[in-house]
């Protein structure tokens, strides 16, 4: 995992290279930021992510120019970031963010079993969903491309804990600490066209408890 590219140079104490740490961040993140080089210039898009063992999966329309480019062996850099809190220091300079991020490098490859990929994405969005939905038709599978990146070259970076102020600043009158941030699901909004006899199922209710 540790290569010239994945060595954490800035604040190296924040670097992590173990798979359990990397996997936990990938599993919590809904969205990844996939960068590639297009005609010599940088491009990056947000896309839903799901981990499948040693792979990170992304998917999209098989007609998408981006997906087609990435399908044909283009190198990618995949990044996810979870924001955990605002770090309010006594000095402007030491203000920061508590976060957990992962950066992975590699070449995406095509995933032949697209139905299984769609199952993994559906279950990532909301566990227990797959058994309740109408499964993909051959036509839908034809219109879908799924790509995988092996979790091999990459690293995580984590900042946690209180601000780190300069020693002399601890005497100042300024309040310092962390404001934690969390992503919270709110009350589910039924589709306006939902059949009135359909109740909120347990797998959706459980998400918002």
Chain Cα centroid distance, residue 11: 22
* Residue placing its CB nearer to its own copies in the complex, 72 or 132: 132
Cβ closer to its own copies: 13 or 195? 195
C-alpha angle 14-19-25 in degrees, rounded to nearest 5: 65
Q: Tell me how far apart the alpha carbons of residues 16 and 13 are, in angstroms, rounded to a whole number.
A: 8
Strand partners, 33: 46, 79
Q: At closest approach, how far in Å is the CB of 55 from its own copies?
A: 19
Beta bridge partners of 75: 107
In the complex, least distance from residue 8 CB atom to its own copies, rounded to whole angstroms: 11
CB of 129 to its own copies, least distance (A): 7
Please name the helix (run of DSSP H) or strand (run of DSSP E) that holds residue 92, with its range, or none.
Answer: none
Task: Find the distance separating the first CA and the last CA of the chain, reported in whole Å.
Answer: 38
Q: Are 141 and 115 in contact (CB under 8 A)?
A: yes
Closest approach, Cβ 74 to its own copies, in A, equals 9
Among residues 49, 111, 103, which one has the least CA distance to residue 76?
Answer: 103
The β-bridge relationship of strands 15-16 and 55-61 is unpaired
Which residues 6+ apart lie within 8 Å of 82 measured at CB?
25, 28, 29, 99, 100, 101
Closest approach, Cβ 170 to its own copies, in A, equals 6
Q: How far is the CB of 37 from its own copies (least distance, A)?
A: 5
Which residues, 6+ apart, have CB-to-CB distance to 27 below 8 Å? 51
């Amino acid at each position: 995992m540790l290569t010239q590219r994945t060595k954490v140079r800035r604040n190296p104490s924040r670097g992590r290279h173990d798979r359990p740490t990397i996997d936990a961040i990938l599993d919590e993140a809904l969205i990844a930021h996939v960068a590639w080089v297009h005609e010599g210039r940088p491009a990056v898009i947000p896309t839903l992510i799901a981990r499948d063992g040693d792979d990170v999966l992304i998917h999209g329309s098989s007609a998408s120019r981006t997906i087609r480019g990435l399908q044909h062996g283009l190198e990618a850099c995949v990044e996810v970031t979870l924001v955990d809190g605002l770090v309010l220091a006594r000095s402007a300079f030491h203000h920061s963010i508590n976060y957990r991020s992962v950066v992975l490098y590699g070449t995406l490859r095509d995933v032949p079993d697209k139905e299984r990929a769609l199952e993994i994405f559906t279950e990532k969005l909301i566990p227990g969903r797959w058994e309740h939905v109408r499964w993909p038709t051959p036509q839908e599978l034809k219109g879908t491309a799924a790509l995988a990146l092996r979790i091999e070259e990459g690293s995580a970076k984590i900042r946690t804990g209180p601000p780190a102020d300069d020693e002399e600043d601890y005497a100042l009158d300024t309040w310092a600490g962390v404001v934690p941030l969390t992503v919270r699901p709110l009350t589910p909004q039924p589709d306006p066209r939902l059949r009135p006899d359909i109740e909120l199922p347990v797998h959706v209710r459980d998400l918002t408890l």
